[in-house]
Structure 1
Amino acid sequence: MNPMIWVIDDDASIRFVFDKALDVNSINHRLFENAEAALEAIKKETPDVIVSDIKMPGIDGLELIKAVHEVDENIPFIIMTAHSDLSAAIDAFNEGSFEYLPKPFDIDQAVAVIRRAAVHRVNMLQLVSQRNRNTLMASPVEQKEETEIIGKSPAMQDVFKFIGRVSKTDLPVLIHGEIGTGRGQVAKALHNHGERTGKSFVSINISSIPQEMVKYELFGDITKDPSTCAIAKAEGGTLFISEINDLPMDCQSRLLKLLQTGEYTNIDSTTAIKANVRVIASTSQDLEAKIAKGTFNSDLFYRLNIININIPPLRDRNNDIPLLTKHFLAQAAQEGHTEPKKLTSEVLVFLCRLPWPGNVRQLKNLCKYLTIMVTGRDIQLVDLPSEFLHANNTQNKSNTSGAVAKENQSWQDMLRSWVDAKLKAGERDILNEAVPEFEKVMLEATLTFTGNHKQESAKLLGWGRNTLTRKIKELNLK
């Protein structure tokens, strides 16, 4: 079977790229520049897969999903958008999209997703013929709450997709991530976009409570008002337990019982209480290592770890820093009733090179500090707190003494020294040696900065996409 693929995008260049790629792969397809034309065509024929932009004049991608699924709910949708945020990902999955592609994307990967969607279509049609089932799609939850989960990096797009896929389930979720990466925001997003939205979201941070008081805060004291405990407050909603790695062993057994039976008991009581809560937990530590040491209950770990998500540290997605700083500076300005500050390019490059041990939280606090302390509109390198400048100097000092000396030279001076050394050594044809190495360094640094997004890298380098692809092959880059 050769599936029929429809591509809908008001951008002629996107349609052109898909046209060529699908032709090369011998895949049947039709191109539409708007959703209205596609809806007219679907009255006469049915596609196997639809690839559609989300933001288009007239009917947008989400409205198109609704309209098409009224005709055939089993047509897989692949949503494309340049607006790579959590809301777009959640909306796309809530409306029933098969996959979500943030622009820019690799066309070969897009074709691979299309093939998977086509196989999915075949499987669904077989299932329909076997079961003759009724329509199972639930109405999407209208949820537009603001969130601070921001990022265009591939790692964060994976987080957005995860939230879109699992928010509708009621299973426990275990969130892994360093302190300050935004584990609480992910937990709140799972709650907001799930069936328990509108109900209580109760967060309890185990590391901030004295160990002897944790059991009372979590399960309640029968001698006092047990309705004030975290589980009781979260009834019908979500209980988020942060830093569960610090949960005392006796509390671990009690929490395991809650997950196994849906019941818990107050401290000093034997009466079981029914609880209707979804449990989401987070940790900044390796729980399996704690199990090996005997400080974490293995049964509890496996109960919690049914679904897990890893949030990357900021240093591993530093290409999100420009977007994050813009957001946090605007937010700080709004809170302080002042004009938003602006980072100079020098400061932005400097920030992208820092290790960020405090992750996104540290960046947000820096933006608040700069909004208050910097008098002008433009933030210069000298405006950064001394600890940030010191952190960079410490990183530099870890290099060899020769490298430290060279850091005061411009790259042009260092290149001139290299040329002088080559000429004095009697070498020839040095330009043919230098240019490929120069291009290789430029390519590797740019691809790392963009998270290996080739189209974005080509733009930053001032090349066309074909030129970048050719250079990658010439220089044997992975």
Structure 2
Amino acid sequence: MMKTILIVDDETNIRLSLEGILLDEGFRPVFSASGEEALDKIREENPDLMLLDIWMPGIDGLETLRRAKEQWPDLLVVMMSGHGTIETAVKALKLGAYDFIEKPLALEKVLTCIQNALKMGQLLEENRSLRARFAKADEMIGNSEEISTLKQQISIAAPTSGWVLITGENGTGKELVARAIHNFSQRRDKPFVEVNCAAIPEDLIESELFGHEKGSFTGATALRKGKFDLAHEGTLFLDEIGDMSLKTQAKVLRILQERKFERVGGSRTIEVDVRVIAATNKNLEEEISQGNFREDLFYRLNVLPFHVPPLRERKEDIPALAKHFLEHFSRQESREIKSLTPEAVTALKYYSWPGNVRELKNLIERLVIMTPSNEITPAHLPAHLTNRQDNGNVRRLGIEASNFREAKEDFEREFIMQKLEENDWNISRTAEFIDLERSNLHRKIKSYGIELKK
């Protein structure tokens, strides 16, 4: 597509000279003789780049630049001047100009500057596009009360500098919460560095976190920066921190307190500014009582606690999650977007999802690849989702009952037992989940002789 270049200069011969060379190079030049006219022309033409003279009647180039950047911050601007000084050039760059070139204009230099500026604009656009794609990939899907509350908590906590501890079962999306906190923080333009503490061998965890000096151990052939180094001014996400050894916990605590560390095998103190977000699927208070986790580190991290609910506690989000994953994997596999029948959605909603959102995501990917039709029915689902013993759905009971009352009681007893099991035998949570008064549920549990499990 032909790029539009706006030339702003009160000298006719400059405009004509630039018009000829830009046309020869395949650009579309448009013109303004003053700053006021240039602002109107930007609005009309939406140029890809503006060549702007500094000394003009009316508002000068610097004021034109300031006003243009206020309204169109992404506009690429190259300043031109025959009376430029270093001070003027610096001021123009601070106001947002891409470059500054002196008159008389060397046309080769002008073309090189334009091409470099347009390449930079393309890179910025690609970067914005990638950020938007990653943000969408990291989007927290769902409108359940639990997820809505979590999103609200993130919006409040993210702009602060407080350290965060995220708890939740495997597969619930703790990393998504960590990325959301980073993306909404004041550090969003700085690195987000992730460390899976459970995946790194114990003898390498210190080198991974703090880096090492050349020759500090066998195989250390060069200096290597650690994750704390790489996350400077950004966010460090320590996933599965409950699996970190007590020795490493002590060093991490020291960094959090002093904001400085030494690399393995080194003596130089390195100061660092990171926001730490930690996550775990363990009950750290129990780990503390068993001597597996430092109490002082727990309280240092637990400034802003977040809990990510398991999928079984927010089943109303399953249709939206399934639709999101269907669209994602259909596009990834270059296929027509598949859909779930209402019956298939119902089967998904009744399953207990021990692997949480990760299990649902993996299932949808498999269905997109393996289902020949564009409509996914219960027949396409794995047996454990439709098998009456495993899917958490109400089993077909009461078939052999002698009357309707017995069938109804059979059905109700099994329904209550399965919902209690799905909610870890918590009466209050189960009552809320099935929309029944707690006292009423308690009476039914007693009348049916249901034994509560601990």
| TM-score (norm. length: structure 1) | 0.55
Partner AA of 1:261 in structure 2: E
Taking a change above 3 Å as real, the CA distance of residues 177 and 371 of structure 1, as seen in their structure-2 partners, is: same
Does 2:390 align with 1:395?
A: yes
What per-residue deviation string (whole Å, max 9, x for no partner) do you get for residues 110-133 of structure 1?
xxxxxxxxxxxxxxxxxxxxxxxx
Structure 1: distance between partners of 2:151 and 2:226 = 31
Cα RMSD (Å) of the superposition? 3.8
Q: 1:359 aligns with which of 340, 356, 361?
A: 356
Instruction: Measure the CA separation in 2 of the matches of 1:227 and 1:218.
Output: 10
> Matches of 2:389 and 2:270 in 1, distance apart?
55
Partner of 2:304: 307
- Do 1:238 and 1:277's aligned partners in 2 also have CA atoms closer than 8 Å? yes
Q: Which of 374, 377, 392 is matched with 2:374 structurally?
A: 377
Corresponding residue of 2:187: 196
- 1:343 to partner: Cα distance: 1.3
Alpha-carbon offset, residue 269 of structure 1: 2.4
Q: Partners in 2 of 1:440 and 1:319 — Cα distance? A: 23
Q: 1:254 aligns with which of 246, 251, 256?
A: 251
Question: Separation in 1 of the partners of 2:381 and 2:318?
Answer: 15
Question: Structure 1 residues 336-345 or 220-229, which shifts more?
Answer: 220-229
What amino acid does structure 1 have at the position aligned with 2:266?
Answer: S
Structure 1 residues 376 and 302, CA, compared in 2 at 3 Å: closer, same or farther?
same
Alignment partner for residue 170 of structure 1, among 161, 164, 171? 161
Which residue of 2 is the match for residue 161 of structure 1? 152
CA distance, structure 2, for counterparts of residue 263 and residue 349 of structure 1? 53
- The 2-side partners of 1:356 and 1:249 are apart by 33
Deviations 1:273-312 (A, max 9, x none): 1001100000011111111121211111110011110000
SS of 1:330's equivalent?
helix
In structure 2, relative to structure 1, the CA distance for the partners of 1:159 and 1:225 (3 Å cut) is farther
Q: Alpha-carbon deviation of 1:395?
A: 3.3
For residues 461-472 of structure 1, the aligned pairs below 5 Å read none
Aligned residue number for residue 281 of structure 1: 278
**What secondary structure does 1:282 align onto?**
strand
* Deviation (angstroms), 1:389: 4.0
1:311-350 alpha-carbon deviations (Å, 9 max, x no partner): 0011111111111001100111111111121112222111
- Counterpart CA distance in 2 for 1:384 and 1:255 is 45
Matched residue, 1:419: 403
- The CA deviation at 1:196 is 0.1
Name the SS for the 2:238 alignment partner. strand
Aligned match of 2:103: none
C-alpha displacement of 1:413: 4.7
Tell whether the 8 Å contact from 1:173 to 1:279 is kept in structure 2 after alignment.
Answer: yes
The one-letter amino acid paired with 1:349 is T
8 Å Cα contact 1:227/1:233 also seen in 2:
no
Instruction: Give the structure 2 partner of residue 237 of structure 1.
Output: 234
Q: Distance in 2 between matches of 1:302 and 1:225?
A: 36
Query: How is 1:17-416 mapped onto 2 (pairs within 5 angstroms)?
Result: 145-146=135-136, 147-223=138-214, 225-386=222-383, 388-389=384-385, 392-395=387-390, 407=395, 413=399
Whole-angstrom distance in 1 between the partners of 2:411 and 2:362:
37
In the alignment, the residues of structure 1 paired with residue 325 and residue 222 of structure 2 have an alpha-carbon distance, to the nearest angstrom, of 40
Distance change in 2, residues 1:246/1:477 (3 Å): closer
Deviation at 1:437, TM superposition (A): 12
Contact 1:176 1:309 in 2 (8 A): yes
CA shift in 2, pair 1:435/1:379, >3 Å: closer
* Residues 212 and 225 in structure 2, CA contact (< 8 A), matched pair in contact too: no
Task: Work out the percentage of aligned pairs sharing the same amino acid.
Answer: 36
SS at match of 1:202: strand
Q: Which residue of the partner structure matches residue 92 of structure 2?
A: none
Bigger Cα Rg: 2
Change (3 A) 1:440 1:179: closer
Q: What is residue 60 of structure 1 aligned with on the other side?
A: none
* Mapped partners of 1:438, 1:205: distance in 2: 45
Aligned residues of 2:397 and 2:410 also touching (Cα < 8 A): no
Instruction: Measure, in 2, the Cα distance between the counterparts of 1:200 and 1:286.
Output: 29
265 and 179 in structure 1: CA distance in 2 versus 1, 3 angstrom threshold: same
Alignment: residue pair count: 295
Residue of structure 2 in register with 1:43 after alignment: none
SS of the residue corresponding to residue 168 of structure 1 reads coil
Unmatched 5+ residue regions in structure 2?
1-130, 215-220, 424-428, 443-454
Change (3 A) 1:226 1:355: farther
Deviation at 1:383, TM superposition (A): 1.4
Q: What amino acid is the match of 2:324?
A: H
Q: Secondary structure in 2 aligned to 1:211? A: coil
- Please give the per-residue CA displacement for 1:31-81, whole angstroms capped at 9, x wherever unaligned: xxxxxxxxxxxxxxxxxxxxxxxxxxxxxxxxxxxxxxxxxxxxxxxxxxx
* Separation in 2, partners of 1:441, 1:295: 40
For the residues of structure 2 that align with 1:393 and 1:435, how far apart are their CA atoms?
Answer: 18
Paired residues of 1:226 and 1:232 also in contact (CA < 8 A)? no
Distance in 2 between the 1:167 and 1:226 partners?
Answer: 34
Q: CA deviation at 1:419?
A: 2.9
AA at the equivalent of 2:390: Q
2:341, 2:324 → 1: CA distance?
A: 15
Output the CA distance in 2 between the equivalents of 1:324 and 1:435.
Answer: 33
The 8 Å contact of residues 226 and 266 in structure 1, kept in 2 or not, is answered as no
Distance 1:272 1:238, change over 3 A: same
Is the CA contact (8 Å cut-off) linking 1:176 and 1:311 kept in structure 2?
A: yes
| TM-score when normalising by structure 2 | 0.57
Q: For residues 389-438 of structure 1, what are the alpha-carbon distances to aligned partners after superposition, in whole Å with 9 as ceiling and x for unaligned?
A: 48x45437x99xxx9xxx4xx57856xx4536xxxxxxxxx8xx999999
- Following TM superposition, by how much is the alpha carbon of 1:252 offset from its aligned partner in structure 2, in angstroms? 0.7
CA distance in 2, matches of 1:202, 1:220: 14
